[in-house]
Structures are given as structure tokens and as C-alpha cells.
Amino acid sequence: MIDTITQIDGFLSNTTSMFFLIIGVWGLLRSVRGQGVDGSYFGALAVGEMLFAVLLVFDVVLFVTGQTPERMGLHYLYALFAVLLLPFLYTSTLKGDDSNRAQWIYTFAAVFLWGIVDRAVTTGL
């Protein structure tokens, strides 16, 4: 059972990494074209947040069952940061802004989160 959860966690980590890379490239194209944030991009960011939340749940399950490597504290810190970054940007920094400036900020955040996922996977090994 735990091996299955570990495999699903690894699969979701890879999926989340590729998803945020795609969102970052898509956001970069939108930003360069001068477009603002639209509902499709917000929806993609929301799906990414859900992926992070599911990953965090799997990590908590692995923690509770004692199936965690030694450096998992840093891994959980990365996961918590990833879950909180986009809502923080939306509520406190951008306050619902959908201009081209906001598109640039979300693009950089998506690329940064792509790096965070890869780093979290590295610390979780």
C-alpha cells in the first residue's frame, strides 16, 4: 500500500513539474503578446494549486506512516510554500488585477514554482 502511495506521489510530482513548466511557457507567450490574465490562465493556475494540495496530502500520509527520508523537513517547507504562493499573490499583491503586469507576475511565479517542484523532489529522495 505504501509503495503505491509513494509511486503516485512520484507520478504527481512529475506531472506537477511539467504542468507548471507548460503554464510558465504559456504565460510567457501571453505576456510578450501584451495580453492580460484571462479566465483560462486563472483556471490553469487553480488546477496547479489543486495538484500541489494533493501532493501535500500524499506527503502528510507518508509522514504519518513513517515512510519519509531524513531531509523531509525541507521538502515539506517547499510544499507549503508552493501551496501558499499563488493565493498570496492573488489576495495581497495583485488584488484581482488581470493586466499584462499581473500576467508577467503570474508567469514568473509559475516558472519559480516549476523550480520549487524540482527542488522539492530532490530533497524528498
- When pLDDT is averaged across residues 65-90 and rounded to a whole number, the result is 83
For residues 25 and 4, what is the distance between their CA atoms, to the nearest angstrom?
Answer: 32
- When pLDDT is averaged across residues 35-61 and rounded to a whole number, the result is 92
Amino acid at 38: D
pTM: 0.89
- When pLDDT is averaged across residues 3-19 and rounded to a whole number, the result is 89
Residue 43: left (phi > 0), alpha (psi -120 to 50), or beta? alpha
| pLDDT for 70 | 66
Residue 96: left (phi > 0), alpha (psi -120 to 50), or beta? left
Q: How wide is the angle at C-alpha 81 spanned by C-alphas 80 and 84, nearest 5°?
A: 85
